[in-house]
A = this chain, B = another copy of it.
């Protein structure tokens, strides 16, 4: 299968591309290096050093004998998007190429507008390109479990059967996202649903949970195949950030009571899920949603698991939450579709957490403790980051 991975230089895009390549698919990657620019802008960096994209592809060819072409450009440019899809002619487009940090989108007006325009426009361009070049191309799109928010009912996979005043319909699951980033994914969801309806496209929208971990069987084959690992308050997701705090002897910082419960998954399961979605495509004209996570944990649960897995005795501290979200709420999200397709989850374990901390320990000098700070406050319309100079408008 020919698979084009958009955002193939990122935390998940790169190991996904390698995984698909190692599984015998013809893979190409696309990136504009926006993620690396955010690091420069904010004065932080991946804990694990990462090679440039072209170098990564060279090393993969040396290690595996397989060529992964890379296209460098911006999918917000419709001509570039068309050219890449026309030239590579994929069977499947896997779309990771979005600004994916909630705090980044909440820094100020410019970052909110950038996030929504970048994410919505590049997805529109991908939809137009597929519709014009070959509507049978299957779009596998990275959405987020954060689109749902925390309703007081079970979260189904994308749709909800509603009976109201004696009549019944199956409707899109109502969305109550928690940031301008999560909102951008909700906007995408609506746009993709519409494109499937009017142009007969087919798409699988992966409503993904919070991913943890760094090493995959393919990235472990060479240091220059490593993917990034973020620990900072803006791009570091909760488990990875807690592991980094433990390793460098920083208190583990829980926002509020820590009752915020989210679906989570091991990075290796992300790779497996994406391949399962590619191999079992949506029908022509179909828009479907798979909830892509394996277990639900509260933030405080995760903090305790990290404490237990670490050999030292990290302190857990509760900070006023910089976000506006419930820190105690009902949460029961359904996630059977990938299990039905045969997913064998890597469930959370002390070994997994220890292996993440082992990776971090190798590069602990690269951690800047100032970057742990939760400096982006949802209630403020302008935020300043301690690690950055004056933030440049993009």
Contact = CB atoms under 8 A, between A and B. Distances in A.
A342 interface: no
Interface in A144-202: 151-154, 160, 162-165, 167-169, 171-180, 183, 186-187, 190-191, 193-194, 197-199
Interface string A353-389: 0000000000000000000000000110110000000
A315 B197 CA distance: 32
Nearest to A129: B109
Interface residues of A, number: 52
A110 B164 CA distance: 39
Interface stretch (A26-34, A113-121, A240-248, A265-273): A113-121
Given A116-B120, A131-B381, A190 B167 contact: no
A12 interface: no
Contacts of A324: 197-198
A51 interface: no
A88 interface: no
A128 to B, nearest CB: 4
B112 A124 contact: yes
A132 interface: yes
- Oligomer: number of copies: 2
Contact of A191 (B160, B164, B180): B180
Contacts of A160: 162, 164, 174
Contacts of A193: 176
Nearest to A120: B116
Contacts of A187: 116, 120, 183, 186-187, 190
Interface in A90-134: 109-110, 112-113, 116-117, 120-121, 124-125, 128, 131-132
A109 B78 contact: yes
Contact of A198 (B110, B175, B378): B378
B165 A162 contact: no
Given A116-B120, A381-B199, A169 B191 contact: no
A154 to B, nearest CB: 5
Task: List the 10 closest A-B pairs by CB distance, nearest first.
Answer: A152-B169, A171-B174, A153-B164, A198-B324, A109-B128, A187-B187, A172-B174, A153-B167, A198-B378, A131-B381
21 contacts: A109-B125, A113-B124, A117-B121, A128-B381, A131-B381, A151-B169, A152-B168, A152-B169, A153-B162, A153-B165, A153-B171, A160-B162, A162-B162, A172-B174, A177-B190, A179-B194, A180-B194, A183-B187, A187-B187, A199-B379, A199-B381
